[in-house]
């Protein structure tokens, strides 16, 4: 292990990263920029080709430039040959997706497959790091066991650490360097070596702990956010009934020094927050414990898309239209502003629910290529033109810049705007006699 330490500290270690998605690719770019040679592996041919052309397959600010730079310096290469990449690496990261299945149970197929590939290469003397979000205990019960089947003992024959990723898409590069990091090791030496490596890209404090604590910390963080958003959504539903504006109410409540309530919205999307609480719920269930609060929070957040459909129907009724006859434009397919990530986006349920009623539905997004079945355009004017109902689902900056006066000329008359992110000042629409419905108002 001394030789490995020397290589890590001297930056001569070859780093293999398995899974070049929203987390793996920025990580690969940053490690390459810091001076390591990085070999990225992904089963998707098109991703690998794009990266080797020095282009980012995802919309992540700064990533294109970074990839160009590290490709030019010959410090990053991508391949579809995962096993060969694992054989070569001194340090191997696994950063593959860990979704939930249709019954909301953890789907660890990709995670198992990636680690099986690593185990088959018998990584003696190497440092292995998991970054995929997993149910508590998975690193030990899956990874340590797989390697034991190959005759290797964790901590003795190889080092093993788990370090959850906290960076958010659209700010991944900045946050991977600025956020404090948790590193859990199968033993102290593993945590120390992984921390030594992360310290090359992370400018903030690195906390060392054990595998299981690091696993649960990640799930606690995202579940906390899910519960916070559910609370906010419930208050929004109440405010609608009471005729109070939730935006003002929460802004003022957050002036309290010990209150920090997140924003309500059309539902919670992305790869992480909608599924991470289910990883906790599943492991609690297996341990014979029912997590009532977390389960209720999920229910509230999962009910929000249907509530948005109700707001749309209400708005259309007010202008004497039905969903069947109205031209409805969905603005924003991504799960949040300025990203091309549409995984678990509330837009999917909303579009599908409206499609069963309306034949004149169009969706717009400047970044996303998915349409969830509705007619899709990237042309904002086409989306706005003649619309009876404009529904804003993602808070992309291009929407914030829309001027209600200009929109009025293009919109159908009468028309209704449903603002589920509260990005607009209602008064500006009301002055133009455009019916405005804000979530939580
Ligand atoms: N997206 C986020 O913002 C975020 C933040 C924190 C943590 N996480 C966690 O990080 C993990 C990765 O998330 P992501 O968003 O980067 O996922 P992603 O789907 O964008 O990327 C995963 C990549 O792994 C590849 N892959 C799957 N199996 C493979 C295999 N056997 N060999 C090689 N490549 C393989 C896929 O083709 C894909 O490109 C997940 O566990 C997620 O929960 C994600």
| pLDDT value of residue 140 | 98
237 Cα distance to chain centroid:
25
The mean pLDDT value of the chain amounts to 96
22 lines ligand 1 (CB under 6 A): yes
Whether residue 275 lies in the annotated active site: no
User: 241 C-alpha vs ligand 1 centroid, how far in Å?
Assistant: 41
User: 19 C-alpha vs ligand 1 centroid, how far in Å?
Assistant: 6
- Structure confidence at residue 369 as a pLDDT band (50, 70, 90): confident
Closest CA to 370 of 352, 388, 395, 348: 348
- Structure confidence at residue 164 as a pLDDT band (50, 70, 90): very high
Confirm if 297 and 331 have CB atoms less than 8 A apart. no
Whether residue 218 lies in the annotated active site: yes
Mean pLDDT throughout 315-334?
96
Counting from 1 in the atom list of ligand 1, the atom nearest the Cα of 276 is: 43
**Alpha-carbon distance 394 to 266, whole Å?**
9
Whether the pLDDT of residue 1 is over 90: the answer is no
Mean pLDDT throughout 75-85?
98
Cis peptide before 292 (omega within 30 of 0): no
Kindly name the residue from 33, 208, 218, 275 that is annotated as catalytic.
218
60 lines ligand 1 (CB under 6 A): no
Kindly name the residue from 239, 272, 389, 415 that is annotated as catalytic.
272
- Structure confidence at residue 2 as a pLDDT band (50, 70, 90): confident
H-state helical runs in 319-370:
346-355
| pLDDT value of residue 169 | 87
- Structure confidence at residue 412 as a pLDDT band (50, 70, 90): confident
User: 99 C-alpha vs ligand 1 centroid, how far in Å?
Assistant: 9
Counting from 1 in the atom list of ligand 1, the atom nearest the Cα of 19 is: 24
Confirm if 327 and 306 have CB atoms less than 8 A apart. no
% of the chain beyond a pLDDT of 70: 100
Pocket test for ligand 1, best of 84, 119, 166, 271 (most atoms within 8 A of CB): 271
Whether the pLDDT of residue 242 is over 90: the answer is yes
% of the chain beyond a pLDDT of 90: 95
191 lines ligand 1 (CB under 6 A): no
User: 24 C-alpha vs ligand 1 centroid, how far in Å?
Assistant: 7
H-state helical runs in 74-120:
82-88, 109-120
Instruction: Give the global pTM.
Output: 0.94
44 lines ligand 1 (CB under 6 A): yes
What pLDDT digit, counting tens, does each position of 383-400 carry? 999 999 999 999 999 999
**Alpha-carbon distance 127 to 143, whole Å?**
13
User: 95 C-alpha vs ligand 1 centroid, how far in Å?
Assistant: 5
What pLDDT digit, counting tens, does each position of 191-234 carry? 999 999 999 999 999 999 999 999 999 999 999 999 999 999 99
User: 21 C-alpha vs ligand 1 centroid, how far in Å?
Assistant: 5
**Alpha-carbon distance 254 to 238, whole Å?**
18
Counting from 1 in the atom list of ligand 1, the atom nearest the Cα of 23 is: 16
| pLDDT value of residue 215 | 98
43 lines ligand 1 (CB under 6 A): yes
Mean pLDDT throughout 111-119?
98
226 lines ligand 1 (CB under 6 A): no
Mean pLDDT throughout 6-19?
97
């Amino acid at each position: 292990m001394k030789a490995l330490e020397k290589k890590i500290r001297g930056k001569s270690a070859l780093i293999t990263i398995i899974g070049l998605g929203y987390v793996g690719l920025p990580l690969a770019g940053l490690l390459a920029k810091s001076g390591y040679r990085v070999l990225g592996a992904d089963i998707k041919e098109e991703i690998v080709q794009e990266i080797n052309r020095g282009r980012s397959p995802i919309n992540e600010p700064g990533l294109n430039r970074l990839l160009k730079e590290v490709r030019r310096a010959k410090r990053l290469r991508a391949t579809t040959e995962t096993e060969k990449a694992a054989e070569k690496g001194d340090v191997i990261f696994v950063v593959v997706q860990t979704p939930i299945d249709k019954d909301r149970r953890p789907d660890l197929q990709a995670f198992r497959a990636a680690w099986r590939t690593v185990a088959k290469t018998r990584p003696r003397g190497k440092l292995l790091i998991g970054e995929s979000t997993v149910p508590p205990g998975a690193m030990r019960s899956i990874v340590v066991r797989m390697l034991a089947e190959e005759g290797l003992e964790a901590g003795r024959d190889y080092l093993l650490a788990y370090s959850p990723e906290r960076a958010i898409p659209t700010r991944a590069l900045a946050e991977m360097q600025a956020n404090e990091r948790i590193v859990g090791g199968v033993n102290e030496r593993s945590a120390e070596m992984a921390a030594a490596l992360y310290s090359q890209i992370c400018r903030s404090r690195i906390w060392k702990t054990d595998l299981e604590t690091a696993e649960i910390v990640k799930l606690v963080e995202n579940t906390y956010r899910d519960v916070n958003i559910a609370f906010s959504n419930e208050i929004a539903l109440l405010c609608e009934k009471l005729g109070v504006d939730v935006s003002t109410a929460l802004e003022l409540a957050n002036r309290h020094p010990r209150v920090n309530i997140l924003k309500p919205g059309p539902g919670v999307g992305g790869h992480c927050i909608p599924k991470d609480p289910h990883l906790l719920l599943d492991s609690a269930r297996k341990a014979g414990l029912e997590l009532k609060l977390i389960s209720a929070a999920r229910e509230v957040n999962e009910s929000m898309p249907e509530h948005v459909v109700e707001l749309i129907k209400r708005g259309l009724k007010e202008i004497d239209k039905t969903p069947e006859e109205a031209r409805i434009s969905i603005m924003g397919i991504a799960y949040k502003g300025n990203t091309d990530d549409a995984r678990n986006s509330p837009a999917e349920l909303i579009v599908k629910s409206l499609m069963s009623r309306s034949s004149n539905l169009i969706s717009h997004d400047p970044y996303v290529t998915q349409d969830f079945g509705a007619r899709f355009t990237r042309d904002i004017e086409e989306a706005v033109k003649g619309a009876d109902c404009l529904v804003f689902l993602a808070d992309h900056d291009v929407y914030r810049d829309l001027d209600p006066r200009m929109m009025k000329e293009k919109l159908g008359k009468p028309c209704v705007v449903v603002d589920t992110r509260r990005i607009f000042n209602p008064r500006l629409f009301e002055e133009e006699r455009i019916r405005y419905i804000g979530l939580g108002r």
